[in-house]
Amino acid sequence: MTFLRSLLRRSHARNSLLCAGLDPEPAKLPHAVVSGSDAVFEFCRAIVDATADVVCAFKPQIAHFAALGAEDALRRLIAHIHTRHPGVPVILDAKRGDIGSTASHYASEAFDRYGADAATVNPYLGRDSVQPFLDRADRGVVILCRTSNPGSGEFQDLLVDGRPLYQHVAQRVAADWNGNGNCMLVVGATWPKELAQVRALVGTMPFLVPGIGAQGGDVEAVVRNGATPDGGGLVISSSRAILYAGSGRDFADAARAAAIEQRDAINRWR
Ligand SMILES: O=C(O)c1cc(=O)[nH]c(=O)n1[C@@H]1O[C@H](COP(=O)(O)O)[C@@H](O)[C@H]1O
């Protein structure tokens, strides 16, 4: 089954648009419970097992593992999700972008080494840099469009032929890059007006929407401005607000409670 089909199926089955981001930070781990050389894996596995039935996807962030030399923990974590929670797709947040010959190695890293179902990519280098990802028709390609960070407008809002650059990205992806029907766009929860503008440009293409929780994005505005007419089309991602909801022995229960709260807050506006 393709990534987008399994995402849709999972989202319907669990009535959830929530994605749990997996961004382990050593200083924030509950050391009384998880410690030792495999603490990152054990922490993330506990979060995954506590939230899998609440979410439509997981999104591990590669730098949070690579900076710690924990690439093998990432590989095992994705394998664990696939084995223990089949049907929950994994989006590897890697934000890759390079010339085509190198990009093919990045695609292989994401999809073959780590076994991810989808990966985030940066469109700045143009279509040939994303092509090795687009060619993997069964996998998802999640393309940065209007990112959640405060400085996102510095380049993404620059007017080109009278329209902001991020709108060109949205239109180009929808019209030209999505031949295999495997594209999504990243639009930050912190920019509801832009979310509505991108939705108006691309029809029902699904969006990955990070920026609720720790970054303060407004859930109601996200759903009102970003959802498709059937109340879907969104994968709303939250990392720190779920991962670090608790810091004691009950950290996994606290993460589950936070995820349920966020899922329900999203569903209230659908
Ligand atoms: O591609 C992403 O996932 C992403 C895009 C974006 O525009 N903003 C954004 O915050 N992210 C990622 O989403 C996660 C947000 O984490 P929290 O702010 O803790 O929920 C981080 O891993 C970011 O790298």
Q: What is the CATH number of the domain that holds 70?
A: 3.20.20.70
CA 235 / ligand 1 centre spacing (Å)? 12
CB within 8 A of 244, min separation 6: which ones?
Answer: 25, 28
Q: What is the ipTM of this complex?
A: 0.99
Residue minimizing CA distance to atom 8 of ligand 1: 148
Q: Which residues of 86-108 are buried (b: 16+ CB within 10 A; e: fewer)?
A: eebbbbbbbbbbbeeeebeebbe
Is 95 an annotated catalytic residue?
Answer: yes
Beta bridge partners of 96: 121
Comparing CA positions, the residue from 119, 58, 54 lying closest to residue 88 is 58
Q: DSSP readout, 112-152?
A: IIS--SEEEE-GGG-HHHHHHHHT-TTSEEEEEEE-SSTTT
Half-sphere exposure of residue 259: CA atoms within 13 angstroms, side-chain side:
32
Q: Would you state the pLDDT for residue 91?
A: 99
Of 65, 124, 148, 236, best ligand 1 pocket probe by most atoms within 8 Å of the beta carbon: 148
Looking up tokens 């994994």 gives 90
Q: Would you state the pLDDT for residue 32?
A: 83
Residue 217 DSSP code: B
Q: Would you state the pLDDT for residue 94?
A: 98
Q: Would you state the pLDDT for residue 166?
A: 99
Residue minimizing CA distance to atom 3 of ligand 1: 93
Q: Would you state the pLDDT for residue 239?
A: 98
SS3 track for 189-214: CCCHHHHHHHHHHHCCCCEEEECEHH
What number does the ligand 1 atom closest to the CA of 213 have?
Answer: 20
Is any ligand 1 atom within 6 A of the Cβ of residue 140? no
Residue tagged active-site, from 28, 59, 95, 193: 95
Is any ligand 1 atom within 6 A of the Cβ of residue 225? no
Domain count for the chain, please give it. Answer: 1
CA 147 / ligand 1 centre spacing (Å)? 8
Q: How far is CA 61 from CA 28, 67, 93, in A?
A: 16, 11, 5
CA 237 / ligand 1 centre spacing (Å)? 8
Is any ligand 1 atom within 6 A of the Cβ of residue 156? no
CA 212 / ligand 1 centre spacing (Å)? 9
Pair 241, 215: CB distance under 8 Å: no
| pLDDT tens digits in sequence order for the chain, 270 residues long | 999 999 999 999 999 999 999 999 999 999 888 889 999 999 999 999 999 999 999 999 999 999 999 999 999 999 999 999 999 999 999 999 999 999 999 999 999 999 999 999 999 999 999 999 999 999 999 999 999 999 999 999 999 999 999 999 999 999 999 999 999 999 999 999 999 999 999 999 999 999 999 999 999 999 999 999 999 999 999 999 999 999 999 999 999 999 999 999 999 999
166-169: long-range contacts (C-beta < 8 A, 24 or more apart)? 166/194, 166/198, 167/197, 167/198, 167/201, 169/123, 169/143, 169/144, 169/145
Supply the range of the domain harboring residue 164. 3-267
Looking up tokens 């939250």 gives 238
What number does the ligand 1 atom closest to the CA of 120 have?
Answer: 1
Q: Name the helix (H) or strand (E) containing 256.
A: helix 251-267
